[in-house]
Structure 1
Amino acid sequence: MAKIKPQALLQQSKKKKGPSQISASTIVLYGVVVILLVFFGLASYRHWIQRVIQKTREGLPIRKKLGAYDGSKKSEVPRYAIFNTSKGMITVELYKDGAPDVVNEFIDACHNGQFKGMQFHHVIKNFVIHGGDSKINGVTEDWTSKGRHYNQLDTSVKHDAFMMGTSKGKHGKEGFELVITTAPIPDLNEKLNVFGRVIRGEDVVQEIEEVDTDEHYRPKSSIGIIDVKLELKV
C-alpha cells in the first residue's frame, strides 16, 4: 500500500474544510427575491390601510347627530322645521303623512334657500301672519281688501291657531308662501293647504302679530325669516 505524503494530506484537509464559494448570479437572484418580497409587502400594507380609511369614512354618517337631517335617505323625511326669525325661534311639526306633497315642496324650498330673508308682509291681528313674495298677495288678497273683522269669526272651525299652511297649487317661480294662523279660522280650507303646526315659539308668533301695521296690514318695521333648519327630532 502506497503511503500518502504529509503535504498531500494537508492539501486534502484544506479542500474539505474550506468554505464553498457562492456565485455572483446566486447573490443577485437572492437580492431580487428580497426586493420583490418587500415591494409586495408594502403594496399589501397600503391596500389594507386604504380599505380601513374607506370603511371608516363609510361609518361616519352613523355617528352623526341623530336629530340632524342630511337628506341621505329618502325615507328620512324631516319631521320638524325650525324657523330662525328676527323675533325669535319658531318650531313647526310637519304633517308629512297628512300632506306629503306639500311637505315635499316645502323641503325642496328649504334646500333652495327660498326662505332665507323672506319677509312677513301681511300681519292681521287675531287672524294670520303671512310671508312670501310681497308682490304676490296670494291668500290674503281678498281678506285685506275687504277689511273683514277677523276677530269676530265663528270659532267652531276646521283650523286652530298656530297652524302653518300655504296657498294651494304648485309653487314655481312665484315662490312658496307661508301662512301661520293666530286664531281659529273657519274658511281657511278654501285657499290654504295646512301642512304643519307650531309646537314651540307661539310667543314669537304672537309678538309678530302685535307689531304695528299700516292700513293694508303691512308691518311698519321689517320682520322676516333668517333661515330654516330641518330636523328629524327635536
Structure 2
Amino acid sequence: MARIKPQALLVQSKRKKGPTRISITTIVFCNLTVVLVVLCFVGAYRHWSHRPDQLKGTGSSNFEDTDAAAVSKKFDLPGHAILNTSKGHIIVELFKEGSPEIVDKFIDFCQKGHFKGMPFHHVIKNYVIQAGHSQQLAAAEDWTSRGKLRGQLATSPKHEAFMIGTSKTKDSKEFELYITTAPIPDLNDKLIVFGRVIKGEDVVQEIEEVDTDEHYQPKSRVGIINVTLIT
C-alpha cells in the first residue's frame, strides 16, 4: 500500500475542516423572517393588551347612546318644588307622569319667575287657598257655592287635602295655584291636580287661618316669595 506523504495529508485535512460559505441572500432572508416574526408578536401583544379598554369604552358608549335618552327624559325634569312663602316653606311633589303637560308648564313658569311675589288672594277655610296675580272673585264664589256638594260625592286619594293644582283655564299667560286644605270630592271638575304637599302642611294651615274679609281675601298680605325647583 502506497504511503501518503505528510504534505498531501495536510492539504486534505484543511479541505475537510474549512468553513462552509453562506450566501448573502440566505442571510438577508433569515433576518427578514426574524423581523417579521417579532413584528407579529408585538402586534398581537398590543391588540390583546388594549382589548379590555376598547370593550370598556364601546360598551359604555353603546349603553349611553341607547339608554341615555330614555333615562334623561324620565329623570331630567325636577320632581319637587319648594314654595318659599311669607309663612314658611312648602315642599311639593310634582306628578310628572300623571300630569306631564301641566308639570312642564309649571316648571316653565317657575323658571320665568312667574310665581315670584305672587299673593294668596283668596283663602277659603276648610277648603282651599288660592295664589295668583288675578283678583277675580268669580272663581272663589264658584268654589264656595258648590262646596255643599262635598258630602254627596265619593272621594279618592286625588281629592284629599294638601293637593296642589291649577284651574282648567285656557289662559296661557296665567297660572293660578290652588292648595286644598280639606278633601274635595268634585276636585276634578275644578282643577287639574299636578302635585301634593309632602312637607309644610302646617304652613298651609297657617295661611288658611289668616283673617279674611267677606270676599275671602286676606286682610294682611301673604304670598309666595319665590319657587325653587329640585329633583
Q: TM-score range by the shorter chain?
A: 0.5 to 0.7
Structure 1: runs of 5+ lacking an equivalent: 1-72
Distance 1:221 1:154, change over 3 A: farther
The one-letter amino acid paired with 2:135 is K
1:80-119 superposed matches below 5 A: 80-119=80-119
Mapped pair 1:157 → 2:155: yes
1:122, distance to aligned residue in structure 2 (A): 0.5
Q: Who is 1:217 aligned against?
A: 216
Tell me how far apart the structure 1 counterparts of residues 218 and 148 of structure 2 sit (CA, whole Å): 18
User: For the Cα contact (< 8 Å) 1:153–1:185, is it kept in 2?
Assistant: no
User: For the Cα contact (< 8 Å) 2:137–2:215, is it kept in 1?
Assistant: no
TM-score, scaled relative to structure 1: 0.62
1:172, distance to aligned residue in structure 2 (A): 1.7
Cα distance per residue 1:28-69 (max 9 Å; x no partner): xxxxxxxxxxxxxxxxxxxxxxxxxxxxxxxxxxxxxxxxxx
Mapped pair 1:187 → 2:186: yes
3-state DSSP of counterpart to 1:189: helix
1:228, distance to aligned residue in structure 2 (A): 0.3
Amino-acid identity (%): 62
Q: Who is 1:172 aligned against?
A: 172
The one-letter amino acid paired with 1:224 is G
Q: Highest CA radius of gyration, 1 or 2?
A: 2
The one-letter amino acid paired with 1:213 is T
Cα distance per residue 1:61-108 (max 9 Å; x no partner): xxxxxxxxxxxx665010000000000000000000000000000001
Tell me how far apart the structure 1 counterparts of residues 208 and 151 of structure 2 sit (CA, whole Å): 17
3-state DSSP of counterpart to 1:215: coil
1:168, distance to aligned residue in structure 2 (A): 1.0
3-state DSSP of counterpart to 1:110: helix
- The count of corresponding residues between Structure 1 and Structure 2 is 157
Tell me how far apart the structure 2 counterparts of residues 139 and 94 of structure 1 sit (CA, whole Å): 24
Off by >6 Å, runs of 4+ in structure 1: none
1:156, distance to aligned residue in structure 2 (A): 3.7
Tell me how far apart the structure 2 counterparts of residues 124 and 194 of structure 1 sit (CA, whole Å): 18
TM-score, scaled relative to structure 2: 0.63
Q: Which has the higher helix share?
A: 2
Structure 2: runs of 5+ lacking an equivalent: 1-71
